[in-house]
Amino acid sequence: MSSIKKKRPRKKKCKGCGDLFQPPLARPLAQVCSPRCAIAYQTEQKKRKAKKERQEFNQEDINWTKEKLQQTVNTLAREIDRGLPCLATGKTGGQMHGGHVYSRGAHTQMRFNLHNIHRQTAYSNTMQSHDGLMQEKLADEYGPEYLQYLKQLRGSPVLKLSAKEYYSAHRKGLKLIKKVQRKDNRELNTPAKRIALRNECNAALGIYPPSLAWFNV
Q: Note the pLDDT tens digit of each residue in 97-122.
A: 999 999 999 999 999 999 999 999 99
Task: Render 49-103 in DSSP notation, one character per residue.
Answer: HHHHHHHHHHTT-HHHHHHHHHHHHHHHHHHHTTTPPPTTT---SS-EEEEESS-
Tell me what the pLDDT averaged over the chain comes to. 91
> What single DSSP character describes residue 190?
S
Query: Residue 79: which residues within 8 A CB-CB, separation 6 or more?
Result: 177, 180, 181
Distance CA 105, CA 111 (A): 8
Quick: pLDDT tens for 115-160.
999 999 999 998 877 878 999 999 999 999 999 999 999 999 999 9
Residue type, 128: Q
Residue 182 confidence (pLDDT) above 90:
yes
Task: Say what the pLDDT of residue 54 is.
Answer: 66
Phi-psi region of 140 (alpha: psi -120 to 50; beta: other; left: phi over 0): alpha
Phi then psi for residue 31, to 5 deg, are -100, -15
pLDDT band at 1 (very low <50, low <70, confident <90, very high): very low
Query: Residue 103: which residues within 8 A CB-CB, separation 6 or more?
Result: 128, 131
Residue 2 confidence (pLDDT) above 60:
no
Phi then psi for residue 97, to 5 deg, are -105, 170
Percent of residues, the chain, with pLDDT higher than 70: 94
